[in-house]
Structure formats: structure tokens, C-alpha cells
Amino acid sequence: MNEALLRELVPAVIGVLVRRGADFASAEDAVQEALIRALETWPDDPPREPKAWLVAVGWRKFLDATRAETSRRGRELTVELEPPAGPAPGEDDTLRLYFLCAHPTLPVGSAVALTLRAVGGLTTRQIAAAYLVPEATMAQRISRAKRRIAGLPLDRPGDLGTVLRVLYLVFNEGYGGDVDLAGEAIRLTRQLVALTGEPEVSGLLALMLLHHARRASRTGEDGRLVPLAAQDRSRWDTRLIAEGVTILQAALARDRLGEYQAQAAIAALHADAPSTAETDWVQIVEWYDELLLRTDSPVVRLNRAVAVGEADGPGAGLAALADVPADLPRYAAVTAYLHERAGDLERAADLYAEAARAATSVPERDHLTREAARVRHHLTTE
């Protein structure tokens, strides 16, 4: 039983049912039932055409559910429910489904869950486990999302930027339960690259691959966070780095720069450097300047300040922080790092402790607490 194949077929099959006249929620429910049936029957009797099989079974499930509902209401069907003649839908249905699941009217969390369910083919239980919430809570979230987009046509023009943001959010969740969300986001983005051919989609894929290449080195055996400067670069996945750089170069060659391409270029420069000291920080600052032209984000300004501090010295980095809101997450940690590099250890220790108190995760809090203790130890031994 090839479960990966099943998941890849889900969005196209849902798209077929919606094109035939099913509303999104009913189509998605019918396809989920078809998947259950496939898991029961395919090991002993695999179909010659898996997609056609899922379409046929899913459509029957939809018809059965519609007729049952009609019977319950005591009225006859008023629309013809037999599938129209014509060729089987292709990739366009899958692309439209991406846009529908990431519709701008949906809250971000709902868009992420619906994308994982309808486009990714994950079960509600898997999504709930990945996000560490009860299955009933995730089921309600998905149901609300389906109700909100009920009646929206599958052929409505979509917002590619929203789709990319949803996929990047999935990627940044990492992994949990029995689902590797980072790997799932990469799989879906590869699919979207093939469907759209857009350089900015390729830029997002390159960014994901370059970040994913460093995954094994980001935490120690004890679960501690390992900052970039201290990571064992021999553990970085050179195959993923090479693929990411190749994809990025092809995207940049099309001369339609976007924010994900710029972020990927920064990640590529980090991946190319043998060490933090040998990193091309000047070029990284230039890429952050390009990024700021496209997205005037406080987070980008904060990260740029770090790069400026490496390229031009900690004083310049601290000066660059003047444009960054002080209540931004990681602001205190970055300020602490720059003060430490400038030799102001007392101020750095206080700021590391402040950053630890504001940390949003236990690993981050523990890392910053250790940094504060390390700097204070230097103060007492000087």
C-alpha cells in the first residue's frame, strides 16, 4: 500500500468532485471515505488506475450522501448528479484547491489545517497530533473552515502569496506526532512548483531545502538549542544544500525577485560558509536591503541588524536596531549579543536574562538562561 501516492492524489480527486458539482465540504468528506475504502481493499486488490478508482468511489460516496440527505428532508434531487462527459481534470484542479484552502477569508490556523487535510491528504488525527491539540479541537477547526468557504467557486482566482505563506507556516512548525510537517511542506511546495512554474514558488522551495539541510545540527543530543555559530557544519545535508542552491539560481535567473528568493539567497550564503567568521556578511546585508524593499518587516530589520553587526562591527549593529521596535520577540536577545561583542558584558548578561523571561518556548528560554549565566561567569572571572 503506497500511502504517499494516496496523499498525492487527494487534491486532484477533490478537484474532480468539485468540478462535477459537489460543494467543497462534501467533496472532501467523500474523498476521505474513499481513502478509507482504499486502505481496506488496495492491499489485496490494487486498482490499475488509482486516481480513476478514487474518483469513482468518491463520487459514489458523494451521491450516496446527497441522496440520503435528500431522502431525510423528504424531497427529490433538483439537480442532475451524474458526472459530465469529457476528459479527466488535470493539474489545474489541484492548483485551484491550493488557492481555495488558503483563501484570504480564512484565519491562518484554519487555512493551514485545511491545506494539510485537503491538499496534503493527512487525517484529522495526524494534524491534531502534529499541532499538539485534541483531535476534536482540530476537527472543529477544519469543519469551521469548510463551512466558511462553502459555495466559493473552485475557479475563483487565488492569491499565490497567501498559499506560500500557509506553506511556510507549515514548514516552520517542524514536526510533531507521526507527521514531519517540515517534510510535508517541502513535498507540497515541490508540487506547487510543478503546477505554477513561478520563480517565487521555487524561491520558497529553495529556502525550505536550505533550512532543512541544517536540521540535524540545530539541537544537541540533550535537546538543547545550538545557535548557528556553534553548529557542526559537517552534519549539514550537502545534497539538500546543492539542490536548494540550484533551484535558487534558476529562479534568480528569471529576474523576478521576490521575498522568498531573497531569503533563500541569505540562507545559501550561510550554507556556503565554512564558519561564521568566514561568512560573506557584507553580501548578506545587501540581500537584507533587497528584502526590505519588498517587505518592510520589523523581523527583517532585526535580522539585518545582526548581519550589520557582523559586517561592520557591534556598534553599527546596535545603531541599526534604532529602527526596530523594542517589544519585538528576540529584540532583547539580539541586543544582548551585540552588547557582548562590544565588550559590555554586564549589560549583555542583563539582556540575556530579560530575553529568557520573554522566551516563548522552553528550549529557547533554557538557551538564553545559559547565555546569561555564561556571560556572568566571565564577569566574575575577569
Rounded CA-CA distance 102/120 in Å is 13
Residues 99, 134 within the same domain: yes
Contacts of 197 by beta carbon, 8 Å cutoff, 6+ apart: none
Q: Across the strands, what pairs with 225?
A: 219
The yes-or-no verdict on residue 157 having pLDDT over 60 is: no
pLDDT attached to residue 156 = 58
Concatenating the DSSP letter of every residue in 104-120 gives TTS-HHHHHHHIIIIIT
Instruction: Specify whether 251 is located in the same domain as 125.
Output: no
Percent of the chain with pLDDT over 90: 47
Does the structure show a pLDDT above 70 at 123? yes
- Region 254-277: mean pLDDT is 96
75 against 147, higher pLDDT: 147
pLDDT at 348 > cutoff 70: yes
126 and 7 co-located in one domain: yes
Q: Between 362-381 and 345-358, two packed helices, what is the crossing angle to 10 degrees?
A: 160
Average pLDDT over residues 12-40: 85
Question: 240 and 136, same structural domain?
Answer: no
Q: Is 222 exposed, middle or buried (0-12, 13-18, 19+ CB in 10 A)?
A: exposed
Which cell is 56 given? 469513482
pLDDT at residue 32 greater than cutoff 80: yes
The whole-number pLDDT of residue 326 equals: 93
Q: Answer whether 300's CB lies under 8 Å from 324's CB.
A: no
Check whether residue 151 and residue 266 sit in a common domain.
Answer: no
State phi, psi for 327 to the nearest 5 degrees. -90, 5
Average pLDDT (53-64) is 88
Lowest mean pLDDT among 66-70, 80-84, 213-217, 283-287: 80-84
Residue burial 337-346, b: 16+ Cβ < 10 Å; e: rest: bbbbbbebbe
- Mean predicted confidence (pLDDT) in 328-340: 95
In a domain, 355, yes or no: no
Which pLDDT belongs to residue 349?
96
pLDDT over threshold 70, residue 78: no
In tens, the pLDDT along 221-236 reads 888 899 999 999 999 9
Kindly state whether residue 40 falls inside one of the protein's structural domains: yes
- Domain co-membership, 131 together with 207: no
Q: Provide mean pLDDT across the span 299-311.
A: 97
Q: Are residues 175 and 202 in the same domain?
A: no
Cα–Cα dist 191/303, whole Å: 30
Per-residue pLDDT at 124 = 87
Distance CA 355, CA 32 (A): 45
Cell output for 238 = 550537502
Q: Give the span between the Cα atoms of 54 and 100, in whole angstroms.
A: 21
Residue 380 in this model has a pLDDT that exceeds 90: no
**Residue given cell 491550493 in the structure block:** 98
pLDDT in tens, 197-219: 999 999 999 999 999 999 999 98
- DSSP structure class, residue 19: H
pLDDT at residue 131 greater than cutoff 60: yes
227 within a domain of the structure (yes/no): no
Last residue of a domain, one of 248, 272, 296: 272
Is 238 in a helix, a strand, or coil? helix
Distance CA 277, CA 228 (A): 11
Single-letter amino acid code for the residue at 267: A
3-class secondary structure, 176: strand
Q: Specify the DSSP class assigned to residue 330.
A: T
Q: Is residue 204 part of a domain?
A: yes
CA distance linking residue 87 with residue 64, whole number of Å: 24
pLDDT at 92 over 70: no
- Determine which helix (DSSP H) or strand (DSSP E) holds 355, and give its type and residue range: helix 345-358
Ranges 5-19, 43-57, 323-337, 341-355: which has the least confidence? 5-19
What pTM did the predictor assign?
A: 0.79
Tell me the C-alpha distance between 90 and 152, whole Å.
20
pLDDT of residue 127: 86
Residue 226's φ and ψ, nearest 5 degrees, are -115, 110
What count of other Cβ atoms lies within 10 Å of the Cβ of residue 83? Answer: 16
The per-residue pLDDT for 356 is 96
Residue 327 in any domain: the answer is: no
Residue 75: predicted pLDDT = 37
Q: Are 244 and 181 within one domain?
A: no
Side chain identity at residue 137, one-letter code: T
Buried b (16+ CB within 10 A) or exposed e, 230-260: ebeeeebbeebbebbbebbeebbeeeebbbb
158 & 97 share domain = yes
Tally of domains within the chain: 2
Cross-strand partners of 219? 225
pLDDT at site 21: 78
pLDDT at 37: 87
What mean pLDDT is predicted for residues 302-327?
96
Is residue 288 one of the residues assigned to a domain? no
Q: Which domain holds residue 256?
A: 197-215+236-272
Is residue 321 very low, low, confident or very high in pLDDT (cuts 50, 70, 90)?
A: very high
pLDDT score of 79 more than 60: no
Q: Which three cell numbers stand for residue 29?
A: 468528506
Is residue 308 one of the residues assigned to a domain?
Answer: no
Does one domain contain both 142 and 99?
A: yes
Maximum mean pLDDT: which of 14-28, 46-60, 104-118, 313-327 = 313-327
User: Does residue 60 sit in the same domain as residue 161?
Assistant: yes
Mean pLDDT of the chain: 86
In a 13 Å sphere around the CA of 275, the CA atoms on its Cβ side amount to 3
Q: What is the mean pLDDT of residues 43-66?
A: 87
Q: How far apart are CA 158 and CA 283, in angstroms?
A: 35
Whether 334 is covered by a domain: the verdict is: no
pLDDT band at 176 (very low <50, low <70, confident <90, very high): low
Which of residues 56 and 72 earns the better pLDDT score? 56
The percent of residues in the chain predicted with pLDDT above 70, rounded, is: 90
149 and 248 part of one domain: no
